[in-house]
Structure 1
Amino acid sequence: MTAQEGQEAVETQALEAQFAQWRHYAQRRRELQSSDADELEDHLRGSVDELVMAGLSADEAFLVAVKRMGSLDELSREFAREHSERLWKQLVLTGGPDADTRSRRDLRVMVLCAAGAAASLKAPELFGTKMTDDGSASLYGPNLGLFVLPWLAGFLAWRRQARRPLIGIMGALFALGAVAANVYPVADNSQSLALTSIHLPIALWLVVGLAYAADDWRSSRRRMDFIRFTGEWFVYFVLIALGGGVLTVFTAGTFEAIGIVSDDFISQWLLPCGAAAGVIVAGWLVEAKQSVVENIAPVLTRLFTPLFTVVLLAFLVAVCWTSTGIDVERDALILFDLLLVVVLGLLLYSMSARDPLAPPDLFDKMQLALVVSALAIDVLVLLAITGRITEYGTTPNKAAALGENVILLANLAWSAWLLLRLVRRHTPFAALERWQTSYLPVYAVWAWIVVLAFPPLFGYA
């Protein structure tokens, strides 16, 4: 027996064990006859086979099939409750005493972590450094993620019951980030400080991903779950920020009406502490109310995908018409990189809500046009950066932009190829999903390279 045949035998045995466990739950219902269970199991097996043929792994196909079945029949309710930590959407679950108890515990831990994040942000003031002081950028810029994200990772690790080795790895990565943010002798106006301030939160956010996918980070399904979590967390955080803005306006106005000026309190306490706590609260809300935002995200994706496609195509037409080169100054580079990241975000989020068995449609073709347009813009930016480096030499900003655009180019190029094959019905959707989730570590590695290697490489400039 070859190694591949052995692996397939192991997967088949594991799948049969899952079917047996599901049947055990099904037979608990007294009103369900044995023939009924046979018929439902046959339907479940057929769904699993279809999903496997579409490109999903056996474990992923089984979970998706059970979730679909549970949304149509109460048969899978107990099974879904038993495996609620493994199922993302939890569409078949309802409340109960156990769920209420867990919700209260989550709330208490969330409040503790939110208070810890706010306190961490204010901790430097104990040593005489305020956010509003001149020269505080060298402290707060690179350390901002370190003040907040360990608390979010801690909340998720507690909720996932992460094992001690994983907690140790996370702690080591946060400690490594703290060393990189505080040991290098960089000036307040240096490019290295700005790059660290931008890239370290990205690297640490992927450490949060380790906490979120505590059971199996190597699983494509768990990585896609974290992508969903990231998008939904962003939606909630923006909503919290908007609500906080309204609260700030009312706070300032009401106190000013009685002769009390609250500007210092708002700028030094309410806004920074509220933002730090909001990071944790948004994560808790996503965990507690997953099924609410997932109805919003696909709508936003379908709304903005055609709009961004039109904008990118119009930009390419304007470049060709005017023959104007792309500005490669720092602000322009950041803008173009953010644009490409938004395109990838639209692609990822539409993938997270797509039925893997659905045939390609007009929206898939529109996504292909969006990705191809972004790919063309990325090539133009790379040509501009390369030309400027060749003519004037390299700087930390240009080197970082060059590396990031090469990474985005590779992702966009292969995504465009897979989308083309998907539209032509030559490749299953699961191949595109696996490519995107397997590419996440590349972003993490590059972010750590910029944070750890760039400052000494460029003389802390």
Structure 2
Amino acid sequence: MTNGTGQTDQTDQTGQTGRHAGLEAQIDQWRGFMRRRRAIAAPDVEEMEDHLREQVADLNAGGLDDDEAFLVAVKRMGNLDDVSREFAREHSDRLWKQLVLFPDAGADDGAPHGLRRFRDLGVLLALATGAGIALKILLATVTDETTLLLNGPFLVLPFLAGYFAWKRTLPLPTASVLVGAAAALALVVNLYPFDLGDPADPYPEPGMTVVLAGLHAPIVLWLLVGVVYAAGSWRSDARRMDYVRFTGELLVYLALIQLGGMLLVGLTAGVLSLVGVPFEPFLEDWLLPFALPGALLVAAWLVEAKKSVVENIAPVLARVFTPLAILMLLAMFVALLAGGPFGSVDRELLILMDAVLLLVLFLLLYSISARDPLAPPGIFDWLQLVLVGAALAVDAVALTAMLVRIAEFGFTANKVAALGLNLILLVHLAWAGRLTLGFVRGTRTHLATERWQTRYLPVYGAWALVVTVAFPPLFGFA
């Protein structure tokens, strides 16, 4: 990147260190936001960044410091959303071309004409087929549902990671470390002497530690996939936020694919039943083993293909559901207070409360991910502050109820796991509320809030690893 004098900017050479580090962080945030705007291609962002840097250099020469120069330069260029809309109007032909399933191939990667349009899809379908074969082999050799729960993610998620490794050209040392970590985790969950229940019982009840391991190991794996998605640059706040955004979009696309698939399967089963052809054996033996991982990988491919063309869906849904979530949390808080002693709170209700708090966290993350970082505080920022406050109140009640139950009935693996998750959520939400309050009052920047959200995410992975690896021996594998 060059400045207005044609010389290489010193901050590019020193990795955003030195006296211009704050300016580079602001430009990096601006660049990340612009890349998420529809109809603005990567060359457009680079051209606009060059213009922005020229403006900043001129303003620096006029006596303004970095912060002042950046704000003035961005103001001159216009509101980021307005710039996005202007690009959408001027390049509507490009937008519609990109919206088709197979955009025109380019020559930037040296691929022959017409080949690149099918290459990504071909690689993905091959990986989806491989994941289906692996899952089919597991289903054919293992009948215990608990073992399937433990090993299913280890057979499917590596294929998704492989797709991202191919797309991002993941460095071999990074790939080797990630493969080793996943393999070690797989060995742990398979070699531990878990209590799988009475084999003579047609419906054996496994121990709690194996259930917890089966629920938390995929979280660790998903964060490892995130390192692949970020091409090894997991320390980058922007890359972590990109992965958060990808996860939300993936869930939306996956839900749509599953709904459509269920409709097609239901119609097919209905037609075949009318003519006397059994459909269930094919459904259980072949369709499900290939459809489930296939839907995951196809959804990931769709998110990747469309992320630079249309607005993200998850942040839009987050804005829609935020007011509804506030009402739900307030109703829960009142119901819990009026429901009698905390010790009588049902365990299933506490689990549902944790799920609601995680949903609130997702709403907060995806709302932040799509916000213009340079826009002033607005009514929706105040709504987010109310949402965080309501979530903290519900979390405080849940923690109190958990501590009362532990005091009355003692420690168990699931109680400690739930208690730890609630404490992590409490810290996350409390600090997010503090930063959001500072932002709406004008004493903090939006960048501080976004950085906190992404930098705290590894804590969830660390806790999931502790529950998966340390809890079983601590609680006697029961």
Q: Establish whether TM, by shorter chain, passes 0.5.
A: yes
Amino acid of the structure 1 residue aligned with 2:179: G
Quote the Cα distance in structure 2 between the aligned partners of 1:455 and 1:226: 30
Partner in structure 2 of residue 244 of structure 1: 261
SS for the counterpart of 2:170 is coil
Unaligned runs of 5+ in 2: 1-13, 32-42, 71-77, 108-113, 197-205
Partner in structure 2 of residue 122 of structure 1: 136
Matches within 5 A, 1:287-326: 287-291=304-308, 294-325=311-342
Report deviation, 1:118: 1.0
Counterpart selection for 1:191 from 172, 195, 208: 208
SS for the counterpart of 1:406 is helix
Partner in structure 1 of residue 106 of structure 2: 98
SS for the counterpart of 2:19 is helix
The answer to whether residue 475 in structure 2 is matched with residue 458 in structure 1 is: yes
Quote the Cα distance in structure 1 between the aligned partners of 2:340 and 2:286: 50
Residue by residue over 1:230-270, the C-alpha shift from the partner in whole angstroms, topping out at 9 and shown as x without a partner, is: 00000011011101101110221121122111112213322
Quote the Cα distance in structure 1 between the aligned partners of 2:308 and 2:443: 32
Counterpart selection for 1:370 from 357, 370, 387: 387
Change beyond 3 A, Cα 1:215–1:206: closer
Change beyond 3 A, Cα 1:353–1:258: same
Q: TM-score, normalised by structure 1?
A: 0.81
Unaligned runs of 5+ in 1: 20-24, 30-35, 57-63, 82-89
Change beyond 3 A, Cα 1:46–1:171: farther
Residue by residue over 1:176-232, the C-alpha shift from the partner in whole angstroms, topping out at 9 and shown as x without a partner, is: 221122111112310011101110111111111001001521110110000000000
Quote the Cα distance in structure 2 between the aligned partners of 1:156 and 1:220: 19
Supply the RMSD in Å over aligned alpha carbons. 3.9
Amino acid of the structure 1 residue aligned with 2:120: D
Moved more, 286-295 or 380-389: 286-295
Report deviation, 1:379: 1.1
Counterpart selection for 1:160 from 168, 184, 188: 168
Amino acid of the structure 1 residue aligned with 2:396: V
Amino acid of the structure 2 residue aligned with 1:446: W
Counterpart selection for 2:153 from 145, 164, 178: 145
Change beyond 3 A, Cα 1:231–1:253: same
SS for the counterpart of 2:342 is coil
Asked whether the equivalents of residues 139 and 148 of structure 2 are also in contact (C-alpha less than 8 Å), the reply is no
SS for the counterpart of 1:98 is coil
The number of aligned residues is: 419
Quote the Cα distance in structure 1 between the aligned partners of 2:17 and 2:368: 32
Residue by residue over 1:153-185, the C-alpha shift from the partner in whole angstroms, topping out at 9 and shown as x without a partner, is: 110111001100111121012102211221111
Quote the Cα distance in structure 2 between the aligned partners of 1:243 and 1:349: 25
Amino acid of the structure 2 residue aligned with 1:8: R
Moved more, 269-278 or 113-122: 269-278
Report deviation, 1:114: 0.6
Change beyond 3 A, Cα 1:257–1:315: same
Q: TM-score, normalised by structure 2?
A: 0.78
Partner in structure 2 of residue 381 of structure 1: 398
Residue by residue over 1:279-323, the C-alpha shift from the partner in whole angstroms, topping out at 9 and shown as x without a partner, is: 111111110111466343333112110001011112212333444
The answer to whether residue 399 in structure 2 is matched with residue 392 in structure 1 is: no
Change beyond 3 A, Cα 1:234–1:406: same
Moved more, 233-242 or 168-177: 168-177
Asked whether the equivalents of residues 272 and 279 of structure 2 are also in contact (C-alpha less than 8 Å), the reply is yes
Change beyond 3 A, Cα 1:246–1:449: same
Asked whether the equivalents of residues 245 and 366 of structure 2 are also in contact (C-alpha less than 8 Å), the reply is yes
Partner in structure 1 of residue 291 of structure 2: 274
Amino acid of the structure 1 residue aligned with 2:399: L
Moved more, 260-269 or 431-440: 260-269
Partner in structure 2 of residue 228 of structure 1: 245
